[in-house]
Amino acid sequence: MKTVRVVAAVIRAVNKENKPIIFATQRGYGEFKGGWEFPGGKIESGETPQQALKWEIMEELDTEIAVGELIDTIEYDYPNFHLSMDCFWCEVIHGELILKEAEDAKWLTKEHLADVEWLPADVTLIEKIGEELHETKDSK
């Protein structure tokens, strides 16, 4: 089975109530159109995961991010390929998160992480992210 290596940005911020929130996007194209995911994309030959992530977020959201700590590497078997996804905590440095490819986007608090229909590979991250959001009171 073909392996596809990708990176995903778990972009976090703090809302007006000083609660930690994360950014989720809804796929606007392809086989998984309409599913919710963390933004990112494929790692090209010669790129580090961090370089790929910065490039993908600039391309998809017109935003510059700082790539932080690796949260996890998700290994997931879809019917036609194996996905290997490096997921990093990220923060916006510059830009407004303009949707260039996604159909929709939402900022979600820990309590609302389950309010969207996540793509299967992304679901495996939700519990871990929820725990981190709970512990991170003053992240920005």
| C-beta atoms surrounding 140 within 10 Å | 10
What confidence score (pLDDT) does residue 137 get? 46
pLDDT at 139 over 80: no
- The domain spans of the chain are 3-132
Q: What is the domain class of 3-132 according to CATH?
A: alpha beta
- DSSP string for residues in 40-87: EEEPPTT--HHHHHHHHHHHHHSEEEEEEEEEEEEEEE-SS-EEEEEE
Q: Which residues of 39-54 are buried (b: 16+ CB within 10 A; e: fewer)?
A: bbbebeeebebbebbb
Quick: pLDDT tens for 93-118: 999 999 999 999 999 999 999 999 99
pLDDT-based confidence at residue 135 (cuts at 50, 70, 90):
low
pLDDT of residue 140: 39
pTM: 0.91
| Cα gap 12→37, rounded to integer Å | 14
For range 24-34, the mean pLDDT: 91
Average the pLDDT over 48-62 and give the result.
96
| 89-95 mean pLDDT | 96
Is the predicted pLDDT of residue 136 greater than 90, yes or no? Answer: no
Could you give the CA distance from residue 49 to residue 18 in angstroms, rounded to a whole number?
A: 30
The letter for the amino acid at 93 is I
